[in-house]
Amino acid sequence: MTTINAHQLSRLIDKTINHMGSEYTEPLHGIRLDVDAKYLYAVASDRYTIAVARYQLRYDDRQQEPWARTIPAAYLRAIREWLQQMAGAGLVTISAVEERLVFTGPQSELSIAVSTGLEFPDWRGILRAQVEQAVDSSDMFPALNAGFLSRFNNGSLVRIRMLGDEKPVLIFAEDFIGAQMPTSRAGLYPTAKEDFPGAHRSWLWTLAAGCKDASLDGAAYEEDRPLYEVTTDIRETGEGLLRSVLRSTADLSETDYDTQKDLWNAQIHIGVANWMAFRYLDALHNVDPHVAQGIVNEVAGELEAGELGEYAWDTAEKAGFDPQKWHDDYEAHLKKRAEPAAAKADSAA
């Protein structure tokens, strides 16, 4: 069992929840509670970021066997609401019991199902490798206000340049340059000035247990999205369109026109439509990236709703076209195409 007060447990969750993997990466879709002989850790990663928050255990809890369980994302809201109902100083005992995690408070208990078969990455090893590389590179260790970093989220990739402890951090993006001042220059006062060697020493005990070759690149953490799922990331959207074009052209070369005419035509239409969509999206992004991102977001929502026929019909009417005539013409085309086959069947009978 591990004991922590409600306020500290809430802080562990809040510090890591934004780094969880998506629902399509089940091993990472939640927050990992990891207990060793000294600390309780909360760990989360979406393969692009990784976050670890820790709480030093009381002396009585340091005699237990290490354990680790991942809290599924679906339960995190219930846990936060349960914690909010008690005073921050109220003690919570966490017990790992087979396929469950049991949270026991002063007046109530919360039990959730967990899967012990999901493989979580070796987060100690992943961070150990990065930290040890940093030890040999530079002593620069500026203190930045994390709240200011979100202001540079303009939907594009950014590059940073560290100038020194008491100098700004430069931030570059496409057609953008910015800087963030260290806390000593921003009217903020950190509790203590800490150098990188000191921070490294404070985590040596934890990270030493990780493997030096640990990685988040394993196939076990690949996202398993449904075929219809569409991303709202504009670069991933473009990548998906190009991949579809290449896939359809490859499939086309393996399709026999004489025996699979409908499939052959479908591959042609898929390739052409996705190539046109990519070219239009690329042009729009070059003209106005914000408008392009807005369109990608809207389309993602429409595809998720799944009512494309209704959307297309309404849009055609608003544009002054006659979708009913399109429908009637297509039905007539299908009827005409079916007539020779029907006549042939009648003559054979």
pTM of whole model > 0.85? no
**CA pair distance 233, 46, nearest whole angstrom:** 15
Q: DSSP for 220-237?
A: GGS----TT---S-HHHH
Over its length of 349 residues, how does the chain's per-residue pLDDT go in tens digits? 899 999 999 999 999 999 999 888 889 999 999 999 999 999 999 888 899 999 999 877 777 889 999 999 999 999 999 999 988 888 999 999 889 999 999 999 999 999 988 889 999 998 888 888 777 666 777 788 888 888 887 767 788 888 887 788 888 887 778 888 877 544 434 445 567 778 888 888 888 888 877 877 765 566 666 655 677 888 888 888 998 899 888 887 787 877 777 787 888 889 899 999 999 998 888 877 778 888 988 888 888 887 888 989 999 999 999 999 999 998 998 888 887 766 666 666 5
CB of 247 closer than 8 Å to CB of 312 = no
| DSSP structure class, residue 116 | T
Using CA atoms, how far residue 328 sits from 43, 194, 315, 335, in Å, is 58, 74, 18, 11
| DSSP structure class, residue 57 | P
**DSSP 3-state helix, strand, coil percentages of the chain (rounded to 5)?**
50, 15, 35
Query: Which backbone phi and psi does 85 adopt, to 5 degrees?
Result: -80, -10
Beta strands 39-45 and 176-180 are unpaired
All structural domains of the chain with their residue ranges = 1-137+195-224, 140-192, 234-348
Burial grade of 35 (CB within 10 A; 0-12, 13-18, 19 or more): buried
> 29: alpha, beta or left, given left = phi > 0 and alpha = psi -120 to 50?
beta
Which H/E stretch holds residue 329?
A: helix 323-348
Fold annotation for 1-137+195-224? DNA Polymerase III; Chain A, domain 2 (3.10.150)
**CA pair distance 248, 246, nearest whole angstrom:** 6
> 295: alpha, beta or left, given left = phi > 0 and alpha = psi -120 to 50?
alpha
